[in-house]
Structure formats: structure tokens, C-alpha cells
Chains A and B, each alone.
Chain A
């Protein structure tokens, strides 16, 4: 069965420091992987996705994520955090083959960037 885990409920970083938000997944075949961000009182916004090709994916607002097949991970990273990056981050996964098209969502990680 497909699953996705975000092992940290909350991540705290100081402004200007690098940040990492972790995501691991389990699918039967190859994955499609997505990161979304949700600011307070807003809907989710797409950040980036991995479909195929280069393992390092660059997305919006300076975020990037690295697909690691051996570790079944897709961690979100940013070299220098901003206070405005404080939000809820969701990882999602979908199998890229078979009949199951369902997108499986993580529980979210709350990122707090301190000035």
C-alpha cells in the first residue's frame, strides 16, 4: 500500500540558516512526488514535483528537493530560510503506474523560522 511519512510535526530554524523538511514514502512502483505549502488561512500551494529525470528538483520561492530512491525519501530544502517561509508543508506521493491514481498526503510539518 502507498504511504507517505513526515516524521517531524514541527521544525524550527533561525532566519538565514538552511532548512530541511523530511519526507519518506512507500509505493509499489516508481513514485510521483510533490511538495505543497499552506500559509495560515489559505489553501495549499504547489511548490515542486519529481516525475522523472534529475534527482534534484528546484521549485518556487527558492525551495528544492532531492529524490533519493534508495532511501525512499524526498526531503525539502532551502539554503537560507526566511521568516516568511513559516507555514505548514505537505508531502504527497502517487504511483506512476497501475490503476491506483490516488494521491497520498502526509500529515504536514509546521515550519517556524525565527528572526
Chain B
């Protein structure tokens, strides 16, 4: 699991706050992903980056803003979130974003919006 790290592990924020989630992968992968995991729901893919270019954006509200400055780092900037955004946010990476490569996940950031 140390291949993909995420900080912070826990975050509590008010609806008017701005915060950022950070992900770093040490696997030399070209693709990185943000997922939202909520209880009783399938894993929701939010964003996909390949070689620092966004290749997928799955109808995510604009209060979530991703940033990928290089192929090892991925950020998720958060602002004016809603309580229903409380969830576990998972970062993942894969060798490439093509369809047969498995993904490697970080431990996640447990986000609580108050």
C-alpha cells in the first residue's frame, strides 16, 4: 500500500471551507484516478488523468476541482462542499489508463463535511 499515499487521512471541514486532498504514487505509473466511496453505493469514478492530462470527468460538481501537476501527484481541491459529500475519497494509479491494467489504491481520505 505504500505505493500510493494520500494525505490527510481524515478531514473535517465546514461547508464554507476550502481544503485540498493530496495523492502521490511511487510506482512510475502514467494514470491516476480519484474515486468517491460511500456506503451502500458502487465506487464512483470522479476523474482520470493520463500523463497529466484529464481524460475523464464523470459529471462531478464543480465544487470538486482536480489538479495533476505531474504524473506522480494528484490533488483534489474542495470548496463549498455539502454534507452529502462526506465519504471516503480514494486515489488510485495504474500503469496506463487502458482497460486491462489493474489499479493500485491509496488508503483514502475520510472526509466529513459539517
Contact = CB atoms under 8 A, between A and B. Distances in A.
Interface string A27-46: 00000101010000111111
Contacts of B108: 42-43
A54 to B, nearest CB: 15
Nearest to A4: B42
A60 to B, nearest CB: 11
Interface in A69-115: 90, 92, 94-96, 101-107
Contact of B102 (A42, A46, A104): A46
Nearest to B10: A41
Contact of B45 (A36, A44, A46, A103): A103
Given A42-B1, A46-B104, A104-B42, A32 B99 contact: yes
Given A107-B40, A107-B41, A43 B106 contact: yes
A51 interface: yes
B103 interface: yes
Dominant SS at the B interface? loop
A92 B43 CA distance: 10
Given A43-B106, A44-B105, A106 B99 contact: no
Contacts of A92: 43
Interface string A41-66: 11111100101000000000000000
Contact of A46 (B41, B43, B103, B106): B103
A96 B1 contact: no
B4 interface: yes
Contacts of A102: 45, 56
Most A-side CB within 10 Å, residue of B43, B104, B108: B43
Contacts of B98: 101
Interface string B18-46: 00000000000000000000001111010
Interface of A: 32, 34, 36, 41-46, 49, 51, 90, 92, 94-96, 101-107
13 contacts: A36-B105, A42-B108, A43-B6, A43-B90, A43-B92, A45-B105, A46-B102, A49-B100, A95-B99, A101-B98, A101-B99, A103-B45, A107-B42
Interface of B: 1, 4, 6, 40-43, 45, 56, 90, 92, 97-100, 102-108
